[in-house]
């Protein structure tokens, strides 16, 4: 049936839904920008846009990894825990200098990603269960390593968090570079295409001789590494390592950004531009409500409405 509607969309409604699925998130961002320019004082300033971009950068970075995982018909709930782990490991090894600390962080994140990937690819645990285990265990480990918030004074780390090039903060540059990199990997590399094929039809990919397990493991490792980057950047910005609260509910923000951006949870498709726009949409929405001092519960309700709209639009397309 889905096939029939795809060939010849008979209803205008179906066409509208399909348009919304593809462009809705950009329209949403544009709408929020226009509304804010009209009603929010001091909105049209470089400073404001910098603030929004800096705040959304870690979410975008995590959402990039999440988009890859969702593209394989999986989900990674452990990203928030990996951020916390990155924060505590950074604090723990900063005595050696920033670069060595970052290497150890990468090792830890790769370890979590490997564990996720191995559970999913070799043991066949459902992604939601496998990563749930690492979500709980990862944050536990982070708190064992660093039981409470610790202030960090490393100048290199501080400049990573608040410095920039030509007035553009490092955070924004790094997020933009990573988004371009991930988009390139998805579109142009063997790995990217194998990932999509596996997400769309795993049995077919297997019979076509694709290295299914290897691709899955790499995807989960990449997702964990991206989450670790976000964790280090957020820590650098805060100039403190706070494993108790850093990355709390980040998995949900990331999934929201991915889904709102038009990547279906059923796998086989990854929309990186949409994911970035999805994260920006949620950030602008939150900022609007905060700037107008509306009750925090409104933010949650507004987010819920956006998600419902995104899911409704996705319904119009279907998977096959």
Partner 1 sequence: MAPPAEVLAVRGLSKTFPGVRALDDVDLTLHPGEVHALIGENGAGKSTLIKLLTGVYRPDAGDITFQGRKVSFATPLEAQKAGISTIYQEVNLIPLLSVARNLFLGREPRNRFGMLDVTRMNREAEEVLGTYGVRVDVRQPLRTLGVGAQQMVALARAVATDARIVVMDEPTSSLEPREVETLFSVIRRLRDAGIAVVYVSHRLDELYAMCSTVTVLRDGRRVHHGPLADLDRLALVSTMLGRDLGDVREEGATKFSGDHQAADTRPVLQAEGLTVPHKLHDVSLSIRPGEVVGLGGLLGSGRTETAKAVSGALARSSGRITVAGVPLRGGSTPAAIRAGISLLPEDRKSEGIVPGLSVRENIALAALPRLSRFGLVSEARVDSIVDTFVERLRIKASSPHQKVGELSGGNQQKVLLARWLAMNPKVLLLDEPTRGIDVGAKAEVQKLVDELAADGLGVLLISSDLEELIEGSDRVVVLKDGAVVGELTGDDVTEDKLMRTIAGGGDPAHDAAKEAATDG
Partner 2 sequence: MQRTTSRRPLLARPVVVALAAAVALTATACAKTEDDTADNKQSETAAGAEQKVATPKAGGETCTIDAYGAEKIDLKNATVGFSQSEKEANPFRIAETQSIKDEAKKRGVKLLTANAQSQFSKQISDVQNLLAKGADLLVIAPLNSDGWDPVLQAAAAKKVPIITIDRKINAEPCKDYVSFIASDFVEQGRRAADQMIEATGGKGEVAILLGSAGNNVTTERTKGFKERIAEKAPDLKVVFEQTGDFSREKGQQVTEQLIQSKPGIKGIYAENDEMGLGAVTALKGAGKKAGDVKIVTVDGTRNAVQGVVDGWISGVIESNPRFGPLAFQTLDTFTKGEEVPQDIIIQDGAYNADNAKQDIGKAY
Contacting positions for partner 2 (CB under 8 A): 40-43, 45, 47-48, 51, 54-55, 89, 91-96, 104, 107-108, 111, 114-115, 118-119, 122-124, 137, 141, 143-145, 147-154, 162, 203, 206-207, 234, 237-240, 242, 244-246, 248, 287, 290-293, 296-297
Which residues, other chains included, contact 285 with Cβ-Cβ below 8 Å and sequence gap of 6+? Answer: 32, 299, 302, 303, 306
How many residues make contact with partner 1 (CB under 8 A)?
Answer: 26
Which residues, other chains included, contact 207 with Cβ-Cβ below 8 Å and sequence gap of 6+? Answer: none
Rounded CA separation 265/12 (Å): 25
Which one, 10 or 100, has the nearer CB to partner 2? 100
**Residue 43 CB, nearest approach to partner 2 (Å):** 8
Sign of the C-alpha dihedral, residues 7, 8, 12, 13? negative
Token pair 């060595």 is found at 100
Strands 240-241 and 150-151: antiparallel
**Which one among 9, 132, 211, 252 touches partner 1, defined by CB under 8 A?**
211
The backbone torsions φ and ψ at residue 240, rounded to the nearest 5 degrees and listed phi first, read: -160, 145
Which one, 270 or 285, has the nearer CB to partner 1? 270
The answer to whether residue 126 forms part of the interface with partner 1 (CB under 8 A) is no
Which one, 155 or 209, has the nearer CB to partner 1? 209
Vertex 30: Cα angle to 24 and 35 (nearest 5):
120
- Per-residue x/- track, 2-21, partner 1 (CB under 8 A): -x--xx--------------
Token pair belonging to 247: 């990355």
Residues in touch with partner 1 (CB under 8 A): 3, 6-7, 188-191, 193-194, 196-197, 200-201, 203-211, 268-269, 319-320
């Amino acid at each position: 049936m889905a096939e029939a509607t795809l060939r010849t969309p008979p209803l205008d409604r179906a066409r509208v839904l399909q348009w919304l699925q593809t462009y809705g998130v950009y329209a949403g961002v544009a709408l929020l920008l226009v509304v804010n320019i009209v009603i929010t004082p001091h909105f049209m300033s470089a400073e404001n846009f910098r603030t929004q971009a800096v705040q959304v950068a870690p979410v975008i970075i995590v959402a990039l990894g999440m988009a890859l995982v969702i593209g394989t018909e999986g989900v990674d709930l452990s990203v928030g825990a990996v951020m916390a782990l990155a924060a505590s490991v950074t604090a723990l090894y900063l005595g050696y200098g920033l670069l060595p600390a970052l290497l150890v962080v990468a090792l830890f994140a790769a370890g979590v990603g490997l564990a996720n990937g191995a559970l999913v690819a070799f043991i066949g645990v459902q992604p939601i269960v496998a990563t749930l285990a690492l979500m709980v265990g990862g944050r536990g480990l982070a708190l064992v390593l660093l039981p409470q918030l610790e202030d960090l004074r490393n100048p290199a780390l501080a400049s990573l968090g608040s410095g920039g090039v030509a007035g553009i903060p490092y955070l924004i540059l790094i997020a933009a570079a990573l988004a371009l990199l991930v988009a390139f990997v998805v579109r142009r590399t063997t790995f990217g295409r194998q990932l999509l094929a596996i997400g769309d039809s795993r049995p077919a990919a297997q019979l076509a001789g694709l290295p299914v397990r290897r691709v899955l493991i790499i995807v989960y490792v990449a997702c964990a590494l991206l989450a670790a980057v976000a964790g280090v950047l957020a820590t650098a910005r805060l100039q403190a390592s706070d494993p108790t609260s850093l990355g709390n509910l980040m998995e949900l923000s990331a999934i929201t950004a991915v889904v709102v951006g038009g990547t279906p949870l059923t796998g086989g498709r990854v929309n990186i531009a949409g994911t970035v726009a999805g994260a920006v949409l949620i950030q602008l929405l939150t900022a609007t409500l905060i700037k107008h001092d509306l009750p925090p519960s409104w933010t949650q309700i507004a987010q819920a409405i956006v998600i419902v709209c995104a899911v409704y639009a996705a319904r119009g397309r279907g998977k096959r």
